[in-house]
Structure formats: structure tokens, C-alpha cells
Amino acid sequence: MKRNQLFFVLLCVLVLVTGTLSNPISAATASNRLRIGMANFTLGAPYFSGMSKAVQEEAAVYPNIQLFVTDAQSRADKLMADIEDMISKGVKGVIISGAVLESHVPALNALKKAKIPVVLVDRELKGGEYTSWVGPDNYQIGVNNGEYIAKRLNGKGNLVLLKGGPADNSIGLARTNGALSVLKKYSDIKVVATGWGEWNTEKAIKVMEDILAAHKDIDAVLCENDSMGLGAMIAIKNAKREKDIFIVGVDGQKEAIKAIIDGTNFECTGMNNSDIIGRAGFNRLMAILAGCRAPKKTVVDSPRIIRSNAARYYNPDSVF
């Protein structure tokens, strides 16, 4: 958000909460604080904890905002309980990070009934109503990765897919289908194996070890996220095949970007910055609470990161 836009939004919020601009900070007492919620389906992965931290940092700047942060620990029933608790505490708006959750209609219905605006970040939940969504275009990220792989292979090679979640996982499907929409144009690029890495590094190491043992002619590995790509990188290095196989991921995780900068065989990733999305989600909610008309959907830019531009996106101090 541009600085002048941010100032406008905060000005609106101050007016909304205090009703005066004469002395807003001293007026920020417990009775007139603006209460908002950050409901996380899980904080068990760096991507989601980084997003939640970004919201907390944005909120912490303003003494008249009281932020409630919850972790449902990947349990839909707890997410529902967390949101009901937020409603009982009088929150004026809620940001929901659904993580791997595909749908939670009851939670959205409860917030709608209470007339509380909802901003979804990263994942767009299916069913139910929400006020606004901020996140990436996962299909386009996949397209970008597919174009990179096709060019890098010069139209010919054997590819491995490392997928994250179950077959109905919308984010993973969008990323893979986007890439395959490009790669299917090249008859000499073949998918020789598919593994399920459950979005994490440790699982991906084992899956990739099994694939490496079964396939001696692999040229590239396409991963639905960077954490699995880092696991694949370890397995490939242990097998001493890093000169033969390159890796492409998604997210822009700092360890992946560092690997790209260092010249490893982790060569490309599509940016899906949880810090940017978290901060954008917070400012979107503030704009809504200030009475601004917000777009239903906002796609965050997801540039392709390769060695030539990786340093521009690397932040060693970031959570993710």
C-alpha cells in the first residue's frame, strides 16, 4: 500500500474509533480500543506464522488497536470456537488464514450473522460469504514455473512432481495444473514420477529418495512449495545427482531464495510472500472498517525468482 493510501486508511480508523482527532493516543483506553481478530487455522508452518506475525506487526503500530491472535492447530472445530470467542469479545473485523483448510462455511456464517467483516488471506475458502480476499494467483505461478522448466530443458526431459496435499487441494492443483498447461505443449517433456511430500521438508526427503532410487534419468523436480523443494535438494545432494537435476518451487521461502543465490540446483521459485499478504490483509481490513469500499478479490504480484534477481527478494531476518 502506498504511503499516502496508508495514511488515509489510518486517519479513517482513528476517526472511526475515537470520534475525534484532538488527542487520539491519549484516548486509546481499554474501553474504546478497536478490537480485531487474526484467526489462524494453523501456525505450525513458517509460512503461516510469518503471515500472522506480519499482521501483528502492522497492528502493533497503533495503540488503539487490540488484536486477538488464535491458532486452531489444524482443527476446524477449534477454529470455529476461536471465532465464536472473538465474536463474544466484540471484535469489529476478522482476518482468516485458512492454511490448508478448503472450506469453513459455519465460521463464515457466524461472522456474517454478527455483521462482522471478514478478510481472507492466502487461501480463498469455498462456500460461505466473506468481505474481501487477498492472495496469490496460484495458477499463474504454475504457468511461470512451467515456462521456466520448458526453457531450461530446451523442450526435452524427464520431470518429477512433488505435490503437497490431497488430490482436492485447490492451491496445489492450481500450481501444478498451471505448470502442466505449459509443459503439455512439449511432447518430449515427460512426467516420470509423482510424490506426495505433505508440504514439508522432512517428508519430501524420503519421497524423493524413493523416486531417485526408482528413476535414474531425471532432469527436473517441480514442487508445489519451497519446503518440499528444500527436501528434494537434500535427497538429490545425498545421491550425488545435483549436477543432473534442477529444482523449481513456489513461495519464496528465504532458505530457497538463499539456495538460488548460492548457485545450488534449486534454481527457481514463484514468489508467494506471506509477509506481504499478511500486511495487505491487515490494511484491507482497516480500510473496510473505515468505511472504504474494498474490492472482493485482490491478487498479490508473484514474480518469478531466479539467480539474476534473487538478491532483491532475500531477507535473512524474515520469519519465512
Cα 77 from Cα 260, distance rounded (Å): 40
**Which residue stretches of the chain are H helix?**
3-18, 46-60, 76-88, 105-113, 138-152, 170-183, 201-214, 226-238, 254-261, 274-289, 310-313
Which residue type occupies 124? E
What's the CA gap between 213 and 135, in Å, rounded? Answer: 37
Contact 192, 159 (CB under 8 A): yes
Q: 250 has which bridge partners?
A: 270
Sheet holding 157-163, edge to edge: 189-196, 157-163, 220-223, 246-251, 266-271, 304-305
pLDDT value for 167: 67
Residue 169: per-residue pLDDT: 84
Residue 312 backbone phi and psi in degrees, to 5: -65, -30
pLDDT, tens digit (0-9, with 9 covering 90-100), for 87-144: 999 999 999 999 989 999 999 999 999 999 999 999 999 999 999 999 999 999 999 9
Rounded Cα–Cα distance for residues 312 and 314 (Å) = 6
Domain spanning 138-270 has what CATH number? 3.40.50.2300
For the domain made up of 34-130, give the CATH fold.
Answer: Rossmann fold (3.40.50)
Q: How many Cβ atoms sit within 10 Å of the Cβ of residue 5? A: 12
Ordered alpha helix ranges (H), 99-191: 105-113, 138-152, 170-183
Q: What pTM, to 2 d.p., does this model score?
A: 0.86
Distance CA 142, CA 176 (A): 6
Q: Which of 20-34, 48-62, 145-159, 249-263 has the lowest mean pLDDT?
A: 20-34
Give residue limits of the domains in the chain.
34-130, 138-270
263: left (phi over 0), alpha (psi -120 to 50) or beta: left
End-to-end Cα separation, the chain, in angstroms:
21
- Position 21, amino acid: L
pLDDT, tens only, 280-306: 999 999 999 999 999 999 999 999 999
pLDDT at residue 31 in the model:
62
pLDDT at residue 3 greater than cutoff 80: no
